[in-house]
Every structure is written in C-alpha cells, then in structure tokens.
C-alpha cells in the first residue's frame, strides 16, 4: 500500500489550520481523524526501531489489514503461535492459522516475531504426561524421574525443531521462552515452578534456546520474554538467570519486556534502569507487548463503556505515551523493536481483565487508536 509521507500529511494539516471557523465555532480539526489518513507511526520511528502490532488472523483482512500496512512494519501473533494452538496433540501440528500471519508479513515486507515457543500457560498437558499417561510432576522414584525428564526435553526439542525449521526464513525474532520468572519467589532464584521447571530444572530453557539456534535463520534473534521486568525482585532474578545462562554458552540475543503498564506505573526510571541493565550484558531489548491501561491494580472501578471514559483520562494516557516514547527514542541504540499488544481499542485482552474485577462489566482503552480506528490523544503525543 502506498504510504503518504510526513510532509504531505503535515502540509495538509497546515492547510486545514487556515480554514475559518464555522458558525458553530468548530473547524475541520474537530473532526475525528481516521487512522488511514494519519501519518504512519513506523515512518516516524524508522531511524530508531521497528513498530509492531499483535494480531489475530481475522484482522488480516479489510480495514484492520490496511491499518497494519500503513502504520506497522512488524507483526506478532497474539495467540495462534502458542504451543496449545500449534501442537494440541503430540505429533499433530496445526500451522494453518499461523501460516496466515507468516504470509501476510512476507507479502507486506514486515518483520515477524514468533510468540512463543515455550510457556507455562496455553500449553497442552500431554507434554507433561509420562508414557503411561501419568503426570510427571507426581513421580517420586529417581530413575523414573530421570526418564521423564529426558522424555519431556525430547518432546520440547521436537516441538521447537519442527516450528523453527518451518519458519526459519520468515521469522526475524523468536520469543523462545516466556515468563520463566515468578512474581512471588518460591525459591531463592525466583524461578517459576511450572511443570517445565519441576521436571527439568532450567534445562528446558537451555534446550529450547540451543535447538532454536540450531535451526533458525542466520540473522534471526532469540529472546527470553517476561512481564514486570522493570520491578524488583523480578528484574534482578531475571538478570541473574540470563547472566548465568550466557556464561554457560546458551545463545540468548535479547530480552523481551512485555510492558503491560499503567498510566502511573512503573516509573520511567525503572524502565530505563531495566533496559540499561540487560544492555550491559551485550543484549538487545525489545518492547514486546506494549499497552497502557487506564487503571491501576486491581482495575477497579472500571468504566462501563468506551463513551464513559473522560477526556482527561485519555489525555493522561497520552502524556504517559509521550514520556514512554521519548524514553524509547533516547535508548534507541539498545531497543530494536516496539510492539503494541493490539491495534485499536476495539480488541484488547485488558477488557477481560477489567470485566473480571468489575462483575463482568468494564472497558479499557490501551492503544493510540479508538474503537472506530480514529486517532486518540496518545497518537499525537507519540508522533510529536
């Protein structure tokens, strides 16, 4: 799709400013600006980092597809590349929906992130059953536990190998493992005590990265991805894990910071400190799942509808986005990609979270485009 340059867009806006006010005191600037008529976000940051969006396959058609082509040069699957969707049964790989996203990225010359090869959530339970169908975590006999560990790591290797070989020429960045550090530490290293960890220790992380490295494209980068990477003790626990893995020769290229944040949390200083901390290990950083919730924690009370959100709330969100992108730009030598966890406010996982804490009623609005794909104050703030 032909993209209009910044100069064309802003020249047009300059002309609009010359239009006299009507009888009701409103100018053309009071009319909503459709995302398809707004200057592309990716071009604004083309000298700093790529701009991505998380997508579902149904969004690759119609207006959402046009918006993706206009504003983003990177995409990632929101759900369809997770283990439970790719290999719901052992040996039965389902690539149909994932292929749609791969095809769209290739046809539109977009970078492609893969999310995610290994996770403790949205993973089919067959991974963790022994040959007799019993839960591996319940096994207490040492010899049988060792057999189970080898079986699980072999299943993991097969899963990673099959996917990476299929997409090695299309995927630029791989979320190899996701959310391996716990919020509330159950052990001295802060590692999440998932079935992966209980059965294999940290060997599953090493096997996942080593297998991905073996079969990925030469230029592909491998990431360990997590949320709340800005706050302690999680940040230090993740740092210590990554440092230890690097010293063992595990091929980690970067850290993915999910960045599901709020208007008032975490602080920009915490974000900056985290980026610099992992960059000190020689690693790249990517902002992998950015959204700015209107709410604190827990998200209550919530606005019942989008229309009930006050303008001052959207303005506060815009100010947060302004500070965030100013920081990202400041650190752009250490950040290669910034990906929004969605496209517009009509589709966000945060709605479900708001509803969960407000008796089934609640609306969040975390992005720079509203439910009708018009630009919000947040759009203008990140475009300066």
DSSP secondary structure letters along 279-323: HTTT-EEEEEEEEEES--SS--S-BSSGGGS-HHHHHHHHHHHHH
Distance (Å, whole) CA 291 – CA 297: 15
Enzyme catalytic residues:
179, 289
> DSSP label at 363?
B
Q: Please, where are the H alpha helices in the chain?
A: 6-17, 41-44, 62-71, 83-86, 96-107, 142-167, 195-200, 203-215, 234-247, 268-279, 311-330, 349-356, 377-383
Distance (Å, whole) CA 46 – CA 66: 19
226 by DSSP, 3-state: which? strand
Q: What are phi and psi of 291, to 5 degrees?
A: -150, 150
Which of 121, 147, 141, 242 is CA-nearest to residue 200?
A: 147
User: Residue 289: which residues within 8 A CB-CB, separation 6 or more?
Assistant: 54, 227, 256, 258, 259, 260, 339, 341
The answer to whether the CB of 277 falls within 8 A of the CB of 239 is yes
Distance (Å, whole) CA 364 – CA 295: 8
Distance (Å, whole) CA 340 – CA 342: 5
DSSP secondary structure letters along 233-255: THHHHHHHHHHHHHHTT----EE
Which of 154, 152, 72, 142 is CA-nearest to residue 113?
A: 72
The single residue listed with the structure tokens 């064309």 is 8
Q: Provide the total of helices (H) and of strands (E) in the chain, helices listed first.
A: 13, 9
């Amino acid at each position: 799709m032909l993209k209009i340059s910044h100069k064309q867009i802003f020249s047009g806006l300059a002309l609009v400013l010359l239009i006299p006010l009507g009888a009701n005191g409103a100018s053309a600037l009071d009319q909503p600006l459709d995302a398809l008529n707004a200057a592309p976000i990716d071009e604004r940051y083309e000298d700093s980092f790529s701009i991505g969006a998380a997508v579902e396959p149904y969004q690759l058609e119609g207006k959402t597809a046009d918006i993706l082509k206009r504003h983003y040069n990177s995409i990632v699957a929101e759900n369809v590349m997770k283990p439970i969707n790719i290999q719901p049964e052992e040996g039965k790989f389902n690539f149909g929906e994932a292929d749609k996203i791969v095809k769209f990225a290739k046809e539109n010359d977009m970078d492609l992130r893969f999310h995610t090869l290994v996770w403790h959530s949205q993973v089919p339970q067959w991974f963790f059953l022994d040959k007799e169908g019993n839960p591996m975590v319940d096994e207490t006999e040492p010899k049988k536990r060792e057999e189970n560990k080898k079986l699980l790591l072999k299943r993991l290797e097969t899963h990673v190998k099959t996917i990476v070989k299929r997409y090695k020429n299309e995927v630029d960045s791989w979320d190899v493992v996701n959310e391996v550090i716990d919020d509330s530490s159950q052990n001295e290293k802060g590692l999440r005590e998932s079935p992966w960890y209980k059965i294999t220790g940290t060997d599953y992380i090493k096997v996942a990265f080593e297998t991905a490295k073996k079969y990925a494209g030469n230029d592909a980068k491998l990431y360990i991805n997590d949320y709340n990477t800005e706050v302690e003790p999680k940040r230090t626990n993740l740092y210590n894990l990554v440092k230890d893995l690097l010293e063992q020769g595990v091929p980690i290229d970067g850290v993915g910071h999910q960045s599901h944040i709020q208007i008032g949390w975490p602080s920009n200083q915490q974000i900056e400190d985290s980026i610099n901390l992992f960059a000190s290990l020689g690693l790249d950083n990517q902002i992998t799942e950015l959204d700015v919730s209107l709410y604190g924690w827990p998200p209550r009370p919530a606005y019942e509808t989008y229309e009930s959100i006050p303008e001052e709330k959207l303005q506060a969100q815009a100010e947060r986005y302004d500070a965030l992108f100013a920081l990202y730009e400041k650190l752009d030598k250490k950040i290669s990609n910034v990906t929004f966890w969605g496209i517009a406010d009509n589709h966000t996982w945060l709605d479900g979270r708001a509803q969960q804490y407000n008796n089934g009623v609640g609306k969040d609005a975390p992005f720079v485009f509203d439910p009708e794909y018009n630009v919000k104050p947040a759009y203008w703030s990140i475009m300066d």
